[in-house]
Amino acid sequence: MKNYLFTVFFFITTISFAQLNPSDKGFEEYTIENENDTINFYIYNPKKVKKEHLFIHVDGSYPAPLWIETNPCCVTQDPFNYSLIPEDYAYVVISKHGFPFSDKEDFKIPKDFWKKNTLDFRVERVNQVIKYVQKNIFKPREIVVVGTSQGTDVTAKLATINKDITKIGFWAGGGLPQLMEFIMFARKDAISGKITEIEATRRIDSLLTQFEKMFENPSPDRMWDGNSYLSYVSFSEPPIENLLKLEIPIYLAIGTKDENVAVENSYIIPIEFIRHRKKNLTFRQFPNYDHGFVEKLESGEEIDRFDKVTKDFINWINEK
């Protein structure tokens, strides 16, 4: 269920523990002030190198600051290895609404976060960042946007609106409405023998009743399974519909052991591209990788493979 988090925590030890500033991690900080939102975004550029292209990561739904100030310092929910991003690309991350760059482990979710956590709101925030960079910082020759987990929904719709985007990555996301994930996993549990067919049908009937309640009253104040009713309803727009509108190159990556997005929901994307005779999709499936591209071996060993996927994506960018 991709409205869960797509988070790979990286632990970095330093000598002392203190409040973390963007510059401490090599980022330049920028702010866009709006009437109902302040957008804080960050460009990784520790060497102060002139940039030619833009690389934006749109992360998943997990409500948290980009960095969490643990002791020893620190934890980030950004899974990208910055050293793998080509130096002529400006790597950009965007704080979620109301969150600072970093905060303590006991951080609080902003009061109005769930009112703002909708598909259109997130799309517009990234769109504004792109326009700001183009107008005030530099004019990118290439604009690459990578969405992970819930960020895939955002990226797919964003690319239908902003025609300056040249390539997108769609990582660990499905093509159908997010609510389908719950039903698919109920069916998978029945097929694998974890629950009986009777239990599966009861679970699905209960889910359908719950979904109906959400659509009758899509309130940001009512929560279910870690997200607000409003968020679930908003993110029920099928990403495949937006992806099929695009003519730019698309890189789709899934892990076959994804525990948050049913892989069956992802396979609908290449099927639909074949059916529509579209040739702009590159489909990568990584056996035994989970939602965060961690390889789960039969021995029980787990190996982080996010860098491997990133390298493959960078090679793909250079080839297109």
Task: Write the pLDDT tens digit of every residue in 117-165.
Answer: 999 999 999 999 999 999 999 999 999 999 999 999 999 999 999 999 9
Quote the pLDDT of residue 1.
52
Q: Residue 50: inside a domain, yes or no?
A: yes
Boundary-marking domain end, from 234, 257, 280: 234
In the chain, % of residues over pLDDT 90: 91
Average pLDDT of span 253-279: 97
Pair 94, 155: CB distance under 8 Å: no
Quote the pLDDT of residue 127.
98
State the virtual CA torsion across 49, 54, 55, 59 in degrees, nearest 10.
120
Do 154 and 298 fall into the same domain? yes
Q: Taking all residues of the chain, what is their mean pLDDT, rounded to a whole number?
A: 93
In the chain, % of residues over pLDDT 70: 94
| Structure tokens, 270 | 């290449």
Do 146 and 271 fall into the same domain? yes
Do 145 and 229 fall into the same domain? no
Boundary-marking domain end, from 234, 259, 277: 234
Do 200 and 120 fall into the same domain? no
6 pLDDT exceeds 70?
A: no
Query: Which range, of 9-23, 80-94, 155-169, 201-215, averages the lowest pLDDT?
Result: 9-23
Nearest in space to 82 (alpha carbons), one of 39, 49, 124, 113:
49
Q: Give the model's confidence band at 26: pLDDT under 50 very low, under 70 low, under 90 confident, else very high.
A: very high
Do 140 and 281 fall into the same domain? yes
For the chain, how many structural domains are there in total? 2
4 pLDDT exceeds 50?
A: no
Q: Residue 157: inside a domain, yes or no?
A: yes
Quote the pLDDT of residue 16.
39
Rounded to 5°, angle at Cα 217 from 214 and 220: 85
Average pLDDT of span 75-93: 96
Q: Residue 5: inside a domain, yes or no?
A: no
Q: Residue 1: inside a domain, yes or no?
A: no
Nearest in space to 273 (alpha carbons), one of 264, 265, 281:
281
CATH value at residue 251: 3.40.50.1820
Task: Write the pLDDT tens digit of every residue in 201-218.
Answer: 999 999 999 999 999 999
Q: Give the model's confidence band at 5: pLDDT under 50 very low, under 70 low, under 90 confident, else very high.
A: very low
Average pLDDT of span 94-113: 95
Do 77 and 91 fall into the same domain? yes
Do 263 and 311 fall into the same domain? yes
Do 216 and 254 fall into the same domain? no
Residue 215 is which amino acid?
F
Greater confidence (32 vs 75) lies with 32
Do 95 and 25 fall into the same domain? yes
Do 245 and 214 fall into the same domain? no
Quote the pLDDT of residue 8.
44
Do 70 and 127 fall into the same domain? yes
Nearest in space to 2 (alpha carbons), one of 123, 120, 149, 146:
149
Q: Residue 263: inside a domain, yes or no?
A: yes
Do 94 and 118 fall into the same domain? yes
Range of the domain at 120: 10-178+237-319
State the virtual CA torsion across 127, 129, 135, 139 in degrees, nearest 10.
-90
Q: Give the model's confidence band at 18: pLDDT under 50 very low, under 70 low, under 90 confident, else very high.
A: low
70 pLDDT exceeds 60?
A: yes
| Structure tokens, 110 | 């902003």
97 pLDDT exceeds 70?
A: yes
